[in-house]
Structure 1
């Protein structure tokens, strides 16, 4: 009989958490594991994962959570679900209700954000609830935060997120650079600094834009782009205009479908987030051959070991961020040394196989004890 696992994902859009579900399900399609997914009607997860898992479309927002709990509980009983993995905060809430209705099911909560749970008795009950059999933390930083909040160490498991390196490998970097240099009308030899992220408060593009202006004022040649969209895009474009960063220096590309080609053409990947559970876009960049500059927040220092696999600056410190960009622009050998260091480190510590086996090991330990015979 297969192990039957239900993933609950409360998001309608497609971001890092949904991609991690995809990678797990896609990597494990065998008779040992049977996958199920509950997500909102019309969600990206339902649309993209229905060929990998049996799906249940159920509204989960607001007062509908109780109705959703009864619907999911019925599904659990009908399909013999043995374990639920909650992939978001709202899914965490829903999972607790379902566990009340189905007390024999094992309950796992994935924690992907690097800030402490909010204060108050409700959140203490939610995060310390004895019904939660295990938290899966995607970085050591998150694991420490939950431990400091009071979650027992026996209920915390570290399974770092990963990415599929396949789409980023085998691309001719020189050809990608020539193609995009022609599109942007820049010399192909110019150093390219790139950022791919939702333009939101969390990602703090303002720090990156201010750092680029500082580097420009120091007389260093470069071209930069920001790919992605978001609520703060207009504000970010206005700041760039205010600082005199025209299209010869910085372009906002919006949502692009050629991410692998963009990264292949990029020398320095720059991420100025003010909080980050792990930062899987950094892993994409490493697989593409980029050198990393980022902020020392959340799980990022687990990917970027300062002066070994990239350069780190404090959050919101655009001067230090600019200093790190300047170091790489002035020292091409350092850029290459850090790139090679990151490639080796990510291959060793953030492989897709490790992520998949880590999740399965947690499930297996809860369902049938510590042995792990299946691959």
Structure 2
């Protein structure tokens, strides 16, 4: 079985983690090639993981000469399936199918209607083009049941949609620095009596950072032994806006922005409570990776998150945008170490038993076989 995976190669965050994690494991079971349209960190990191990477540079989205090169590659090496990730790959697949008959499948990593919310021009143009491209796709892999329902509700055929959850590599010890060593790196005082609450996210409106900040401000009115840490970066406009909130509320010593952190497992090891405040999500790696480090988790109940976290069993889920409920849950867990430990252990076991990279790869092999049989 030969599968060509196509992606822009400029992706970061969950999509990049998903593809690299998936292809590393898939390569043990099938002949896999990853084609990137940009020579950036994505391609470099994929190569470092032993994935067969080919870069076919496409400097502009509208440069369609790349289609002939992809068709030639598909024909010459006799690939069985073209697997697309993201709007750019979906768009090219629409033209490839006019020149060469090959089953096409696209992974739905997010709500495609919200992918370009931060840019009005892109939202109008790219979202429309992506929709037309998706309508011409043969099959889809939704990473949650909620995403499959979303597609069906929008007129996509149920029998063309498969579900395969995101998975993560199961490692018992992920971190390399102690809690104190990590905090020292950022000149943050280590105090065993403090509770450290963290969030790993892009500093983007869809990630609900104001919800996190408002909840933190509310918590800190009554709890002085809690410190809030934010890992991630974003565009300057939104980052400055969030930092202004912290300054205006005199919380500079209680809420710390750490920026992008490459060795993210050391961040998870340093915190006691992992949070996510997104308004829209799929099946986020920020929670999967946090679970490996056995961190008690609080998240907004959006997207596929309720399929991962069982409320009051393996974590706590709050209503989207409800910062008061988030604040209440943070205080609840901060004051009850035993409850934190129980939730973290339960989530760790749930992820280990259901959402591993091996499970994810096996699901894809089964899906590919069904596609080829059809």
* TM-score (norm: length of structure 1): 0.88
Confirm whether residue 180 of structure 1 aligns to residue 187 of structure 2: no
CA-to-partner distance for each residue in 1:344-373, whole Å, 9 max, x for gaps? Answer: 22122212211010111111222246xxxx
- Cα deviation for residue 115 of structure 1 reads 5.7
Within a 5 Å distance, the mapping from 1:286-365 to structure 2 comes to 286-365=291-370
Confirm whether residue 367 of structure 1 aligns to residue 372 of structure 2: yes
- Alignment equivalent of 2:290, drawn from 273, 285, 290: 285
Verify the 8 A CA contact 2:91 2:129 in the aligned structure 1.
Answer: no
Verify the 8 A CA contact 1:286 1:339 in the aligned structure 2.
Answer: yes
Counterpart of 2:33? 36
- Alignment equivalent of 1:47, drawn from 44, 49, 55: 44
Within a 5 Å distance, the mapping from 1:230-245 to structure 2 comes to 230-231=234-235, 232-245=238-251
Verify the 8 A CA contact 2:135 2:156 in the aligned structure 1.
Answer: yes
* TM-score (norm: length of structure 2): 0.89
- Cα deviation for residue 261 of structure 1 reads 1.5
Counterpart of 1:81? 79
Within a 5 Å distance, the mapping from 1:249-288 to structure 2 comes to 249-288=254-293
Give distance in 2, aligned partners of 1:29 and 1:7.
12
* Structure 1: gaps of 5 or more residues: 370-375
User: How many residues are paired up?
Assistant: 358
Give distance in 1, aligned partners of 2:215 and 2:108.
31
Report the aligned-residue RMSD. 2.3
- Cα deviation for residue 92 of structure 1 reads 1.0
Verify the 8 A CA contact 2:5 2:35 in the aligned structure 1.
Answer: yes
- Alignment equivalent of 2:103, drawn from 91, 106, 118: 106
User: Bigger CA drift: 231-240 or 263-272?
Assistant: 231-240
Give distance in 2, aligned partners of 1:219 and 1:56.
52
CA-to-partner distance for each residue in 1:69-126, whole Å, 9 max, x for gaps? Answer: 22211211122122111011221111121111111x1101000113658999866643
Within a 5 Å distance, the mapping from 1:95-174 to structure 2 comes to 95-103=93-101, 105-114=102-111, 125-129=132-136, 132-166=137-171, 169=173, 171=175
Give distance in 1, aligned partners of 2:229 and 2:167.
24
Structure 1 outlier segments of 4+, above 6 Å? 117-123
